[in-house]
Structure 1
């Protein structure tokens, strides 16, 4: 049976950065879709460079636990895995629709199905909505609510903003929420001014980040005015300019993200059996990963 590798960034500074990768890997292991499920990291061990040597299977599905198509998914991971013949053009993507490419890891001779990142998969929209349900405690949340999908934004990678706008538009198309807005930390429209973009009295803010860290735990809460000092904490919901802000924290911590990882592998040809159904049953309405 093929193996699954979940490729995440990790961090030397934030010990909780790896929590989503380990939590989602455990969920997928429990569903029995793969004999082997491995986590690999850029900033932690096991590393991208060494992970294929820890896998017995000759066929491996690699799914990047990243938000957007860019430097890490297009350059770092393929390079570190030594994927022979890799060319980002093979994804034939406009920045939000990378699928998969089958290549050989030349140093270990394994067949690798290299998938697009979870952050641009269409099912990530469901995870964003699930995150809103989790933070409000309301499985029917939507009417009377606005929702903001928040990303970093950067001039260095236009795809960073594309992923945020893509999912904001998909949420908008469902018609579930009264208002939907894509907001950013480092470009317009900025999350600092979140209340200016909504008329609704209740707004759910969902950061499209994989893990809770400096940006999601410190920058965004302070920028939105939830607190003057993140170390003092804040209420959920918190009142800002007569608007109740329901701050959800990083979308990657939502348990349902394990479903997206499995879907990426299934899209690339993995026979996951009934694992998708099992994962959905276990993660719908459950606590966020790492909680």
Structure 2
């Protein structure tokens, strides 16, 4: 038997924080390729520490629904799962975006755990970002005249937080899919507050590389960009700011194509996903290189 565990951060303050995790788990559960599919959280129930005890399967694939490699994916989750002899070097990721998977034993439940890199650094996330941009504009062949801003939180405490954003910006830029592609941040330079200063394109699509919609994506970023003075009054899509049309998408993690990324992470770690017809969604054209 094989099981899939999708682990997310969760929140005591934002009830919608866990929604994408449950939604993508449901999508994968419906494919029937795993005997068991579970969700687990740091700030909600079921917890990281308890989730393996709820499984009957001996073979478990754990995929973090996190954006970047860092404190939670490298230390907290392996510790709470009690992975025997865990060492982050087993991921063989020296650049902060290349973690694949490492196989360990969960000592207290005697299960084999294939611990995967975070969903946010997988190459297929570039496709999800493009799909998100397409869905908010309604343009499946957007290109000329469109710029793309990929927005991350950014933090001086963890340099890998910015690396994931820049990685996907570079990949999408190289694809030639948009006239301009920039990586912007909330808490470091270049800042999303000044989004119009970084683009010449008349239309700019802004996609936050966040797992779930919350305070940052629903309140801070729209106000910082000048879409509205008060998020509670709402704003139009697109909104004209400094003579440019800003198309704001909200968190990329809510995009249904995310389920494919989770499946691919597990498949690369050895999960048998045969029987899923063309995964769960069709991919956008022009970014994936495999």
Query: Which of the five TM-score ranges fits, normalised by the shorter chain?
Result: over 0.9
Is residue 2:35 matched to residue 1:35? yes
Runs of 4+ in 1 over 6 A off after TM superposition: none
Q: Secondary structure at the match of 2:148?
A: strand
**Distance in 1, Cα, partners of 2:262 & 2:143:** 26
Structure 1 range deviating more: 26-35 or 212-221: 26-35
Report Cα offsets for 1:223-279 as digits up to 9, x if no partner.
Answer: 000000011111111110011000010000000000000000001011101326140
Q: Secondary structure at the match of 1:14?
A: coil
Alignment of 1:184-263 (within 5 A): 184-263=185-264
Contact 2:91 2:101 in 1 (8 A): yes
Partner of 1:118: 119
Report Cα offsets for 1:164-214 as digits up to 9, x if no partner.
Answer: 000000000110100000000001000000000000010000000000001
Contact 1:259 1:276 in 2 (8 A): no
Q: Secondary structure at the match of 1:193?
A: helix
Partner of 2:82: 82
Superposition RMSD in Å: 1.0
**Distance in 2, Cα, partners of 1:9 & 1:228:** 30
TM-score normalised to the size of structure 2?
A: 0.96
Alignment of 1:67-146 (within 5 A): 67-93=67-93, 94-146=95-147
Distance 1:207 1:271, change over 3 A: same
Partner of 1:53: 53
**Distance in 1, Cα, partners of 2:127 & 2:277:** 14
**Distance in 2, Cα, partners of 1:214 & 1:48:** 24
**Distance in 2, Cα, partners of 1:140 & 1:30:** 30
Alignment of 1:141-156 (within 5 A): 141-156=142-157
Partner of 1:170: 171
**Distance in 2, Cα, partners of 1:138 & 1:29:** 30
Report Cα offsets for 1:56-89 as digits up to 9, x if no partner.
Answer: 1011000000000001000110000000010001
Partner of 1:161: 162
Report Cα offsets for 1:36-62 as digits up to 9, x if no partner.
Answer: 100000000000000001111011000
**Distance in 2, Cα, partners of 1:147 & 1:43:** 32
Equivalent pairs counted in the alignment come to 283
Q: Secondary structure at the match of 2:68?
A: coil
Contact 1:262 1:276 in 2 (8 A): no
Partner of 1:22: 22
After TM superposition, give the deviation of residue 280 of structure 1 in Å.
1.8
Partner of 1:180: 181
Q: Secondary structure at the match of 1:134?
A: helix
TM-score normalised to the size of structure 1?
A: 0.96
Q: Secondary structure at the match of 1:277?
A: coil
Partner of 1:289: none
